[in-house]
Amino acid sequence: MRRRRAFHAPRGSAIFEIAGYASCTVTKQLNQKLSEEHAASVAKYLRETQNIPTRQTTTPKAALLTAS
């Protein structure tokens, strides 16, 4: 059986892109606001509890997912 090696990026080189998603049952404006707040909250948690530097987190505007 062949073992897989874990990939380890050089320290400090990983970028964590954090996007949020709320619900498609509310208005698009409210959904966007909740998504952005959720992503920002996750980024803050990673910075404060996991010592991830701000330069390694990004929270782009969350894409709205809509039901077809």
Q: Is residue 49 part of a domain?
A: yes
Q: Is residue 65 part of a domain?
A: no
Q: Is residue 33 part of a domain?
A: yes
Q: Is residue 8 part of a domain?
A: no
**Residue 24 CB-half CA count within 13 A:** 6
| Residue 16 DSSP SS3 | strand
Q: For 12-64, how does the pLDDT look when each residue is reduced to its tens digit (9 = 90+)?
A: 778 888 877 767 788 888 888 888 888 889 889 988 998 888 888 888 654 34
pLDDT at 68: 34
| Number of domains the chain contains | 1
Range of the domain at 28: 16-58
Q: Is residue 53 part of a domain?
A: yes
Q: Is residue 22 part of a domain?
A: yes
Max CA separation in the chain (angstroms): 52
Q: Is residue 6 part of a domain?
A: no
